[in-house]
Amino acid sequence: MSNSPETPEQSGLILGIETSCDETAAAVVRRGTETLSNVVASQIATHSPYGGVVPELASREHLRNIVPVVRAAVQEAGITLHDVDAIAVTSGPGLAGALLVGISYAKSLAYALDKPLIAVNHLEGHIHAVLLEQAELPKRSISGQPDIAALPLPLPAMALVVSGGHTHLYLVRRHGESWRYRNVGRTVDDAAGEAFDKVAKLLGLGYPGGPWIDALAPHGDPGAVSFSFSQIKAKAHRRGEPGALDPAAETFFSFSGIKTAVLRYTQVHEMATGIEARRSALATRSDAKPEDALPLCDRQTLDLVASFQRAVVDDLRLKTFRAAEQFGAESLLVSGGVAANRELRVRFTAEAAERALPIAVPSLALSTDNAAMIAAAAYSKLTTDDFAPVTLTANPSLALGNAAGQARNPI
């Protein structure tokens, strides 16, 4: 038996760093399949009074947190920085200043330790949050027998990445050691999570809005208010135009209209006084939790919240399953902050069961931003020597994969 030391691909220890928005996160993951540590410092308390992320404050908090968060991730993993085989960092999309804190720190670590640097797209990270947990599940199985949910997802998979900044559909395939992504759907305006955040804000609820609406919706009637989504066929995408995308091939989401519809509903039904009373009551409590808002909501508000959530979840569900069918996906995965939504999980899982389509959603901890997903996504780049140059910089609008209808490198 050989006693030669493991190659970086064999030990595959990657330190991941994520600072694209309002969480400073670091994690150590082995071979993209085993989480040794996953540390997240949330900035919710900093941004909460403003009802949204303030970019300058986010950068300042990342600067304050990055060193202790990385140190904690390395300590919890029971390793030293010298043991890692590569440093992976989110290079985009996200807030420029926030991304730069993680990138600068990752670059200096890589330089000082003489380790390769790997750039990871945040959206690819969200997809790998699911793949990482799928790989970990058999190890967690109590019986020792992998249960059906723990079997690897058959590919290609349709991935819905749905968060505060993104609502994208990707067809995901494996190509040798690497992963390929084809972007087959996107929002033309707001992301779904942004709609949750804006609706919660205009109803006088806390930030970020998703968990508040999630907690209140079960107490209302989801059929009370009907919302409709326009069918978007942007002019540039009409069939037959030179260089146009095939309209059958791309799915469009739009969530800015529903936010305006909720606002109009509150105006027509003169809900302003109740909203302000709720906002003031919650503002007096810095530790207010979503459940605390329940006694502050009347039936009309609860019905509105439930109807809004049902409409968004149904729109995501209908379009995602239609795209899965259209592109012959063998499985489905849902990731990003909004994947934490309970109604979304229940309704997606029920429809997947009806269609006998395997589905995976991440645990709550890996639904929202974290660095384990960044370290996991980096592993195939380590094994293929896909390293970042020392000139790596932030790309706030970094895209993932090639778009539907683009014939180059079809997957």
Q: In the complex, which residues of this chain contact ligand KG4 (CB under 6 A)?
A: 21, 163-165, 193, 196-197, 208-211, 214, 336-338, 340-341, 368-369
Select from ligand KG4, Zn ion, none the partner in contact with residue 209, using the beta carbon and a kind-dependent cut-off of 5 to 8 Å.
ligand KG4
- Closer to ligand KG4 at the Cβ: 194 or 250? 194
Which one of ligand KG4, Zn ion, none interacts with residue 12, CB within 5 to 8 A by kind? none
Task: Name which of 159 and 304 has its Cβ closer to Zn ion.
Answer: 159
315 binds, among Zn ion, ligand KG4, none (CB under 5 to 8 A by kind): none
Minimum distance from CB of 77 to ligand KG4 (Å)? 22
Nearest distance in Å: CB 190, ligand KG4 = 10
255 vs 321, beta carbon nearer ligand KG4:
255
Nearest to ligand KG4 of 211, 405 (CB atom): 211
Closest C-alpha among 205, 367, 368, 219 to residue 290: 205
Here's the x/- map for Zn ion, 369-388, by CB under 5 A: it reads as x-------------------
Determine how many CB atoms are found less than 10 A away from the CB of residue 96. 16
**Whole-number Å distance between alpha carbons of 368 and 122:** 11
Q: Which is nearer to ligand KG4, 51 or 405 (CB)?
A: 51
Q: Which of 163, 167, 307, 370 binds Zn ion (CB under 5 A)?
A: 163
Q: Cα-flanking dihedrals φ and ψ of residue 112, to 5°?
A: -65, -35
Q: Which is nearer to ligand KG4, 164 or 405 (CB)?
A: 164
Residue 39 Cβ vs ligand KG4, minimum distance, rounded to whole Å: 15
Output the smallest distance, CB 102 to ligand KG4, in A: 14
Question: Which of Zn ion, ligand KG4, none interacts with 255 (beta carbon under 5 to 8 A by kind)?
Answer: none
Under rule CB under 5 A, residue 197 binds Zn ion = no
Which residue ranges make up the site for Zn ion (CB under 5 A)? 163, 369
